[in-house]
Amino acid sequence: MIEPKIDLASLSLFPATRAQVEESWHRTWSQWGGTLSLTEYLAREVEMESMDHAKDGKLITWVLAPRDDPTTLDFMCSCEAFKRSGLVAYPSPSTSELNLVHEVTYYAIASVFTPPSKRGRGYASHMMHLLHWVIASRDNLPKFPEAWGAPPEQVPGAIEGLFSCLYSDVGEDFYRSAGPGGKEGGWETRGAVSTIWDVGAEEGDDDGWLWLTQEQLNRLWDCDAERINKELESMLTSDTSYEVERPAAFVTCLPTNGVCGFHIPRSTYASDFFMAGGFWGIQSLNDPNTYASWSVDLRPPPPILIVTRLCASEETFPGLIAKIIQAARRSGIGKVEVWKLGEGLKGVAERTGGQTVIRNEHLPQIVWYGSGATGNIEWAYNEKFGWC
């Protein structure tokens, strides 16, 4: 049953009560539950919110609800915002000096959902317009439109994001047109590119390689964050591989604090899938700066091994991808996928059997809340680990 439309000015954005959080899970199960029963889906969500990437206030569910009844379970729509640590690098004016790199707060947005009975009323768009006002510093936001009523109240600990990102399954335009002041200034697409390999029958030995468990990966990601920081310091201002001609800043997510780690339990929850050896990553013993981590996409079948983070040179990449393919083969997986492979590795990937395609789902989109326009910001390390 389609409900009558409610005036958008009478609605605002509120942090969800516990009852509203649970109601949002009940609503989204039919859309995203896959093969999980409702009981399994609810249990998974409870487990996920207790993990490092979400606990201690890092996850807030937001609901669009009437201003005069903000705790109602009949709210219009909802979304999730994860507070995370990222890096921003401002290019040095001199090639002899390092770029200035700062650790910053950003937000990863997920689970944007409107129940069927409330669709076609502009609720989700309005929610995304308002979301900017509760996760970002308002210093660089435009004037709040009078037609929307009063701005939503800011929540302590849920502001000061320098940028936010999301992964769209509804194309580019919906989120791009959801700006903080109207239809301009929303999330812009960056690097929706995947490289995919079919898994063959070839087998190799494990000499010179260390297979990594989830626990070992946690230590690797701490080192990886330091590496990313150092690489950003010396990142060139101009490069033909950039999506922005001369970036005013480089931004990146970081794989630490459970951001990369949660992919594994989330993707395998309540399934009988077992990764061969219990290994979810690999590192070269000869070159410790060559490594990768992965998760799996089981739904819909057949399963795909998704690389969440990859670091390699043109020389070491062929050996690394061969081991990743080997891990997939040993686990009964027929395809391997890497997001936004580095420009220098694309030719090597093609020679090793990889096919690069433009994705039409999980589109990485970003909006910048600092000085200047999103169109001048380069998203570095735009790999699967940032997805939520």
Q: What pLDDT sits at residue 292?
A: 98
The whole-number average pLDDT for the span 371-383 is 96
Cα distance between residue 309 and residue 322, in whole Å: 16
Q: What pLDDT sits at residue 240?
A: 81
301 pLDDT tier (thresholds 50, 70, 90): confident
Q: Is 281 helix (H, G, I), strand (E, B) or coil?
A: strand
Cα distance between residue 367 and residue 186, in whole Å: 6
Cα distance between residue 324 and residue 305, in whole Å: 9
Q: What pLDDT sits at residue 300?
A: 81
**Residue 314 C-alpha from the chain's centroid:** 26
Q: What pLDDT sits at residue 113?
A: 98
The whole-number average pLDDT for the span 26-43 is 96
Positive or negative: CA dihedral 312, 316, 322, 323: negative
Name the β-bridge partners of 292: 282, 310
Residue position matching structure tokens 């079948």:
301
DSSP track, 22-64: HHHHHHHHHHH-TT--HHHHHHHHHHHHTSTTTTTTTEEEEEE
Residue 3 has pLDDT above 80, yes or no: no
- Is-contact 103 87, C-beta < 8 A? yes
For 241-270, write each residue's pLDDT tens digit: 888 889 999 999 999 999 999 999 999 999
Cα distance between residue 182 and residue 375, in whole Å: 17
What percent of the chain has a predicted confidence (pLDDT) above 70?
A: 99
1 pLDDT tier (thresholds 50, 70, 90): low
- Is-contact 192 359, C-beta < 8 A? yes
- Is-contact 63 14, C-beta < 8 A? yes
DSSP class of residue 151? P
322, two tokens: 């061969």
Residue 294 has pLDDT above 70, yes or no: yes
**Residue 75 C-alpha from the chain's centroid:** 26
Helix residue ranges, H only, 181-316: 214-233, 263-268
Q: What pLDDT sits at residue 202?
A: 78
Residue 173 backbone zone (phi > 0: left; psi -120 to 50: alpha; other: beta): alpha
Give the CA count within 13 Å in the CB-facing half-sphere of 183.
3
- Is-contact 249 305, C-beta < 8 A? no
The whole-number average pLDDT for the span 145-162 is 93
What percent of the chain has a predicted confidence (pLDDT) above 90?
A: 88
The whole-number average pLDDT for the span 62-72 is 98
Average pLDDT, the chain: 95
Q: What pLDDT sits at residue 47?
A: 97
For 167-187, write each residue's pLDDT tens digit: 999 999 999 999 999 998 999
Q: What pLDDT sits at residue 2?
A: 67
The alpha carbons of the chain give a radius of gyration, in whole angstroms, of 21
- Is-contact 124 109, C-beta < 8 A? no
pTM of the model: 0.96
Burial label, 347 (beta-carbon count in 10 A; 0-12, 13-18, 19+): exposed
Helix (H) or strand (E) holding 209: strand 209-212
Residue position matching structure tokens 């059997």:
353
Residue 137 has pLDDT above 80, yes or no: yes
